[in-house]
């Protein structure tokens, strides 16, 4: 491959759970603020901040809850979407989805449409696959496969977050699930052309890219 690739990473962190006074204060802040917003996006990296109590607080107080539970070398696969009893939108990559259901081989469309909803009450689930695009599943529609929308890759860091951010906002606004995933894919396609997270996705560039794809 010719794109920028991370060779290794080293973790120096204390990933123990929050001590009670801090956890209580964090939970109180979520309770106070979450209901003021139409959408809450949770990027859960599994390093101790989001405890079971905080999960319950988020679930109870979010009008629309969008969640990604990241699996990485730091959390060693212990941070799974099954820790959330409910969400309105879930976005996972393939390893995160397969680990959550302990299934290495089943077709991802079946995992998105049937197996993941068995462990979390959520009717809008997307599984991203990098250069293979994504699979979007919604209760009111059959699963949809959306291809990757660019072959110009500079750096893949942050692409999943770019997808989640825009797709979640679209879902929260009531946009059709297929269109929401398409726009998330556009955002990811633009992000992989940026080194690291050195700059945000430009709205004008996003609009122009959508227009070019639909011509």
Confidence of residue 215 (pLDDT cuts 50, 70, 90): confident
Confidence of residue 196 (pLDDT cuts 50, 70, 90): confident
Amino acid 212: pLDDT: 95
For the stretch 163-187, pLDDT in tens is 999 999 999 999 999 999 999 999 9
Amino acid 91: pLDDT: 98
For the stretch 56-114, pLDDT in tens is 999 999 999 999 999 988 898 899 999 999 999 999 999 999 999 999 999 999 999 99
Torsion-angle region of 91 (φ positive above 0: left; ψ -120 to 50: alpha; else: beta): beta
Confidence of residue 28 (pLDDT cuts 50, 70, 90): very high
**pLDDT tops 70 at residue 1:** no
**pLDDT tops 90 at residue 13:** no
Amino acid 2: pLDDT: 56
Q: What is the mean pLDDT of residues 122-131?
A: 95
Confidence of residue 9 (pLDDT cuts 50, 70, 90): confident
> What pTM value is reported for the model?
0.92
């Amino acid at each position: 491959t010719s794109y920028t690739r991370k060779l290794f990473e080293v973790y120096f962190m204390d990933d123990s759970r929050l001590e009670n006074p801090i956890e209580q204060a964090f939970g109180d802040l979520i309770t106070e603020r979450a209901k003021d917003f139409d959408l809450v996006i949770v990027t859960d990296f599994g390093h101790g901040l989001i405890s079971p109590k905080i999960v319950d607080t988020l679930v109870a107080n979010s009008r629309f809850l969008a969640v990604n539970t990241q699996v990485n070398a730091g959390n060693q696969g212990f941070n799974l979407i099954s820790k959330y009893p409910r969400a309105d939108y879930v976005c996972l990559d393939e390893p995160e989805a397969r680990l959550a259901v302990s299934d290495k081989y089943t077709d991802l469309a079946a995992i998105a449409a049937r197996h993941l909803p068995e462990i979390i009450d959520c009717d809008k689930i997307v599984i991203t696959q990098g250069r293979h695009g994504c699979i979007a599943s919604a209760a009111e529609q059959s699963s949809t496969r959306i291809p990757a929308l660019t072959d110009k890759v500079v750096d893949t860091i942050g692409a999943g977050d770019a997808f989640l951010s825009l797709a979640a906002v679209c879902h929260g606004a009531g946009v059709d699930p297929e269109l929401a995933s398409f726009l998330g894919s556009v955002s990811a396609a633009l992000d992989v052309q940026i080194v690291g997270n050195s700059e945000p996705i430009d709205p004008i560039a996003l609009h122009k890219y959508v227009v070019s794809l639909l011509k």
